Each structure stands twice: as C-alpha cells, then as structure tokens.
Amino acid sequence: MHHLVRIVTGLLASPLDSGTQHFDASNIEVTTFDTGNKAVNVIPAEAQARFNIRFNDLWTPDTLAAEIRARVAKFAGNARYTLTFEPTNALAFLTQPGPFVDMVSRAVQAETGRRPVLSTTGGTSDARFIKSYCPVVEFGLVGQTMHMVDERVKVDDFERLAAIYERVLNDYFGAAA
C-alpha cells in the first residue's frame, strides 16, 4: 500500500495543465483505493487505485496515457505495477465561436433578454458522437433537480426553451433559403 500511496501522491503532485482559452484545467480524480483485505492485521498481497482524468483539448488519449505512464514510472521506484487504461470516446471538442454560435446566442438573448455565457464546464455529453458531422452548441434548462429522481422544470422555462429552439431553426433555415 505504501508504494501505491507514493505513486498516487506523485500523480497528483503537479497539475496536468493550466487549462486553455475554452477549457478548465485537466484533473485527476482518484475514485478508489482497494486491497481486498477484510482483516486489519494482514499485509495485502496487492493494492489497487482507480482514477478518472477529466481532460481538456491539450490532450488526446494517447498523449495523456504517455504522461501518466511517465509519472507512474517516476514515482514507482522498485514497486511492481500494472497500469491499465480503459478506452474513451470522451474527447474534448469545441465548436469554434463564429456565425453558428452567434446565431444561437442571438436567439437566446432575444427570448430571455440575457446574453449567454459560452462555457465548456457542462461535462461530457452525447454531442461527441455528432460533432464531426455538424456544429454543436449545447444549452438547455438547468435546475435544482437536474439528473435526479423526479427531475422537473417550470412550464414557463420549458416554453421559453422551445421558443429559443424555434428561433434557431427559423434563423438557420431562413439563412439557408
């Protein structure tokens, strides 16, 4: 366990990056330590740590894996270890600010009276599956019950969102006609 603690401490010792113009800094989230021991007086045969890395557009899965391998090797010392990476399809992407983003922003402002703040802090979404085929702007309702049992929104907010979508569609297809 002491080898694992040293490795994880080394992984977390310095940030992966400082973020970019559009993305927060990448971060390592340790999610579990485990030895499988039920007894407190037995030295574990092995120890395991799992972690998740929320990374920005400075990294690809390959470059990030290389960085993690280097950090683990640096802090492992004489410890034997296995490092396994699970596949990911959660690559950072950004629809660059421009005419499409401006059109959606204008629609939001026209219906709400507020200029939206462009942000990439919403987390991973299914947009990663369509980003190569069309521009993507994600926005929608937020609230205290988001992603909870009995999630709900105010009817007025839902109607306002529908009006924004309608304006975006009219502006988009009106501009194409």
Give 125 or 173, the one with higher predicted confidence: 173
Work out the mean pLDDT of the chain and round it to a whole number: 88
Residue 3: pLDDT band (50, 70, 90) is very high
23, 21, 151: which is closest to 90 by C-alpha? 23
What mean pLDDT do residues 130-135 have? 84
Q: To the nearest whole percent, how much of the chain has pLDDT over 70?
A: 95
Which fold, 2-76?
A: Alpha-Beta Plaits (3.30.70)
Fold of 99-176: DNA polymerase; domain 1 (1.10.150)
- Percentage of residues in the chain with pLDDT exceeding 90? 53
pLDDT of amino acid 176? 56
> What pLDDT does residue 165 have?
94
Q: What is the pLDDT of residues 148-161, one digit of tens each?
A: 888 888 999 999 99
Apex CA 95: angle with CA 122 and CA 169, to 5°? Answer: 90
Predicted local confidence at residue 8, as pLDDT? 96
Tell me: pLDDT of 39 over 70.
yes
Domain ranges of the chain: 2-76, 99-176
pLDDT in the model for residue 28: 94
Give the Cα separation of 94 and 103 in Å (integer).
Answer: 16
Model's pTM, two decimal places?
A: 0.71
Reported as a pLDDT band with limits 50, 70 and 90, residue 25 is very high
The pLDDT tens digits of the residues spanning 77-132 come to 999 999 999 988 777 777 778 899 999 999 999 999 999 888 777 666 777 788 88
